[in-house]
Amino acid sequence: MTRAAAIHAATAYLDEGGFLADLSRRVAIPTESQNPDRAGALGDYLEKEMRGSLEALGFQCSVHPNPSPKGGPFLVAIRREAGATKTLFSYGHGDVIRGQEAQWRSGLSPWQVVQEGEKLYGRGTADNKGQHTVNIAALAAVLKARNGKLGFDVVLLIETGEEVGSPGLDEFCRTQKDAWQANLFLASDGPRLSPERPTLYCGARGALNFDLTVNLREGAHHSGNWGGLLADPGIILAHAIASIAGPTGQIRIPEWVPKELPAGVKRALADCEVGGGSDGPSIDTWWGEPGLTPAERVYGWCSFDVLAFKTGNPEFPVNAIPGIATAHCQIRFVVGPDSTQFLPALRRHLDRHGFPQVEVKQARAEIFTATRLDPDHPYVNFALASVEKTMGRKPALLPNLGGSLPNEVFAETLGLPTVWMPHSYAACSQHAPNEHILLPVMREGLAMMAGLLWDLGEPNATVFPS
């Protein structure tokens, strides 16, 4: 009954093949939440796969319909212990993006786990089936080492709509908050700072997607007859975009960025070096907000990107001036700026710069809100010390993930201090063909999560808020 025994049991689960077997079953269920034809698979993942695995650990499981017609069902698994006075809340998502079967390289399939060296390929290996599989196994290891006790209660929520913006999640959690009575949040998603460095983060950047459109006329007109006489919507839209961000990516709309980089965020990122490993792209150090380090730009600041731009017929260009041009854009934002004012500020900016013909429209109703637990919070320090004890080296602390998650539901709706421990890395191709995880990272994740869960269950762990 020792901490070391819990960590050994967790890593043995991977070394002896248990992780591969469980993950293979889970990946084989094609839980594409973006594909209406896969709606049945979402329920199958919860009822036929996860329910049995969790009930074997003493959880009481129930599957709930989504209050939103756009989202899939929820699994709530609750484990109560006699005498426990504190509750840990955890989370995972069982849905994945579209499989993109035809685009995977030869020998790989999104619905079959394939091992090549230290990599395990398959849709959901990184996002998020592999990650919540690690955490459930770590719970099992601590239960085994502590004779069937954790020292606290657990509420685990698995949703099946994260990849479509988590519709209904906030409403569902509001209705369950009083019943759950949770105190702390601990889960895993997203990548480490680099493959080699254990990482914790305290929240997530928000994301707002919007469309810019210049619609000047019906149809296209021959450029030989009308060139120089008809305004080109592609040129107008290109200049409008150039007014939003400079040639090195610096945002030119003051309402879109923080007034300053908070001191606590700056301290946390001082020793953080961003890297995607050998598979990742090289960082363009000249891009983004000047005066900031790469880590500060992605974890402490806001970014603007054009995700798609279309004018005319890109696949089959013709000698004609198009009538319409569109761009699908995104702001990733941190705590500080008021996201409700992003599009009004953009409208004022475009009008001020002579682009009244550029239409602005939010791309979807759901947005992710920026959240960040104070990097100096006692729970953060507790988790950092636990990971360093397990790994023998200092983990990276990110004030927030560079990407976006529904963390506002846990931090604001449920009112929980949130700590995330990612088990993936940035070059994992999580939303692309050939998604994969690294076995050494998963093994370290099992050890770190088992160690942290053990520490949370110790009688002197006063980190749980009253």
**Inter-residue contact 358 to 265 (CB < 8 Å):** no
The confidence band for 234, taking pLDDT boundaries of 50, 70 and 90, is: very high
Q: What is the pLDDT of residue 376?
A: 93
Q: Give yes or no for residue 466 having a pLDDT over 90.
A: no
DSSP 377-432: -HHHHHHHHHHHHHHSSPPEEESSBSS--SHHIIIIIS---EEE---B-TTS-TTS
Q: Is 82 exposed, middle or buried (0-12, 13-18, 19+ CB in 10 A)?
A: exposed
246 and 306 in a single domain? The answer is: yes
* CATH number, position 63: 3.40.630.10
Q: How far apart are the first and last CA of the chain?
A: 27
Residues 183 and 210 in one domain: no
When pLDDT is averaged across residues 207-211 and rounded to a whole number, the result is 95
Of the three residues 362, 379, 395, the one that is the final residue of a domain is 362
Q: Give the predicted TM-score (pTM) of the model.
A: 0.91
Which is nearest to 162 in space by CA: 409, 341, 426?
Answer: 409
Structure tokens at 32: 């594409």
Q: What is the pLDDT of residue 291?
A: 95
* Interval 366-389: pLDDT, tens: 788 999 999 999 999 999 999 999
Domain that holds residue 19: 3-204+369-456
> Whats the size of the chain, residue-wise?
466
- Whether residue 233 contacts residue 214, with contact meaning beta carbons closer than 8 Å, is answered with yes
Q: Are residues 350 and 316 in the same domain?
A: yes
Please, which residues have CB within 8 angstroms of residue 72's CB and are 6 or more apart in sequence? 33, 39, 42, 43, 66, 95, 159, 160, 161
pLDDT in tens, 140-196: 999 999 999 999 999 999 999 999 989 999 999 999 999 999 999 999 999 999 999
Tell whether 158 and 44 lie within a shared domain: yes
Distance CA 159, CA 145 (A): 29
**Beta-sheet pairing, 324-333 with 206-215:** antiparallel
Residue 39 lies in a domain: yes
Q: What is the pLDDT of residue 82?
A: 95
In this structure, how many other beta carbons lie within 10 angstroms of the beta carbon of residue 218? 8
- 187 in a structural domain: yes
Whether 96 shows a pLDDT value over 80: the answer reads yes
Helix and strand numbers (H, E) in the chain are 14, 19
| Residue 80 phi, psi (nearest 5) | -110, 145
117 and 32 assigned to the same domain: yes
> Phi first, then psi: what are they for 104, rounded to 5°?
-75, 145
Final residue in a domain of this structure, among 362, 379, 402: 362
Domain membership of residue 295 (yes or no) is no
- Residue 1 has a pLDDT of 81
Contact 420, 134 (CB under 8 A): no
Task: Tell me whether residue 431 is in a domain.
Answer: yes
Confirm if 282 and 180 have CB atoms less than 8 A apart. Answer: no
Residue 281: what pLDDT? 84
Percentage helix, strand, coil for the chain under 3-state DSSP, each rounded to 5: 35, 20, 45
Residue 355 shares a structural domain with residue 230: yes
pLDDT at 259 (0 to 100): 94
Tell me, what CATH number does 309's domain have? 3.30.70.360
Distance, C-alpha 91 to centroid of its chain: 12
Total domains in the fold of the chain: 2
Are 351 and 306 part of one and the same domain?
A: yes
Among candidate residues 466, 442, 417, 453, the one with its CA nearest the CA of residue 149: 453
- 284 domain residue, yes or no: no
Q: How far is CA 114 from CA 30, 86, 107, 434, in A?
A: 16, 40, 8, 10
Query: Residue 277: inside a domain, yes or no?
Result: no
| Burial bucket for residue 44 (CB in 10 Å: 0-12, 13-18, 19+) | middle
The reply to whether 326 and 420 lie within a common domain is no
Residues 195 and 106 in one domain: yes
Choose one of 322, 337, 362: the last residue of a domain.
362
Residue 397: name the closest of 260, 205, 190, 202 by CA. 202
pLDDT in tens, 396-428: 999 999 988 999 999 999 999 999 999 999 999
Residues 227 and 335 in one domain: yes
165 and 25 in one domain?
Answer: yes
Residue 171 lies in a domain: yes
For 351, the token pair is 């009008």
List pLDDT tens digits, range 31-78.
999 999 999 999 999 999 999 999 999 999 999 999 999 999 999 999
On the 0-12 / 13-18 / 19+ scale of CB atoms within 10 A, 428 is buried
Q: What integer best gives the mean pLDDT of the chain?
A: 96
Please give the share of the chain, as a percent, with pLDDT higher than 70.
99
- The verdict on 98 and 246 lying in the same domain is no
Band the pLDDT of 276: cuts 50, 70, 90.
Answer: low
Sheet bearing 324-333, strands edge to edge:
303-311, 324-333, 206-215, 358-362
The answer to whether residue 274 is domain-embedded is no
